[in-house]
Structure 1
């Protein structure tokens, strides 16, 4: 079973569920209550849009329990004495690994939370999550050629620039070493 919550120093990463995605899409007033977090004003961020939400919900519905943890993840900034727990971004995998153990990741951070190293921390959490499954051998990610900040996030997380893809985006990739069993 894949863990559905993981922690980084400042973030709690929570795997999307059918209940959370349904609320996010159809009952947005209940979404922050179910999530247990405040929402940023510009939610949803970047490429995490309604189309992505629908895709993740469809995959979780079709795949049942085996799909849990292989699609969307919410990035929640941990509560502090000064601020409540807040949803600051989303990321995740585009599905379970293929036969060769390859998985694609993606991520977006809400505008007010950018420039604080949180995207780098989110990606590091996703890399660790992939390693912890023991099933992933290689990660890939794509970013627009003009998105230098995203490219730096990937490079700082051990990704190397691969070949450009036909739509003009840049491909990044990195090997994943499974986490040794305790």
Structure 2
């Protein structure tokens, strides 16, 4: 079974569940209570929109327990003496790895929390999570050509630029060294 919580120095990464996604989509005032964290004012961030939430919920519903951990992950900044636990971003995988061991990741950080290295830390955590599954051999990611901050996050995490994909996005790849649980 895939671990559904992953810790980094400043973040707790929590795998999305059907209950969390349902609350996020349909009962937003209960979502932070279930999550146990304060929401930023601009939630949801970036490309993590209602369509992404619905996609993750549909995939978790269709895939049952085997789908857990292969879709959305919430990035919660750990409490400090001056601030409570706060949801700062979302990321995750677009599904389990394919037959060759390739999985795709994506991520978004709330505007109020950008520029603090949290996206880099979130991606590091997703890479570590992929390694922990023992199933992923290669990760891919895409950014828009006019998003240098996102490109820097990937480069800082050992991804290499592979050129443009057919949709005009910059494609990145990274080899993963799987580690059995």
**Which bracket does the TM-score occupy, shorter chain normalised?**
over 0.9
Deviations 1:47-94 (A, max 9, x none): 000000000000000000000000000000001110100000000000
Runs of 4+ with deviation above 2 angstroms = none
Residue of structure 2 equivalent to 1:151: 151
Alpha-carbon offset, residue 180 of structure 1: 5.5
Residue of structure 2 equivalent to 1:10: 10
Cα separation, 2, equivalents of 1:65 and 1:179: 21
Deviations 1:83-132 (A, max 9, x none): 10000000000000000000000000000000000000000000000000
1:98 to 2:98 alignment: yes
Structure 1 segment 8-157 matched on structure 2, within 5 A: 8-157=8-157
Helix, strand or coil for the counterpart of 1:163? strand
The count of corresponding residues between Structure 1 and Structure 2 is 181
Cα separation, 1, equivalents of 2:15 and 2:116: 22
- Computed over aligned residues only, the root mean square deviation of the Cα atoms, in angstroms, reads 0.7
- TM value normalised by structure 1: 0.98
Cα separation, 1, equivalents of 2:60 and 2:180: 28
List alignment gaps of at least 5 residues for structure 2: none
- Contact kept in structure 1, 2:133 and 2:180, CA below 8 Å: no
Helix, strand or coil for the counterpart of 2:105? strand
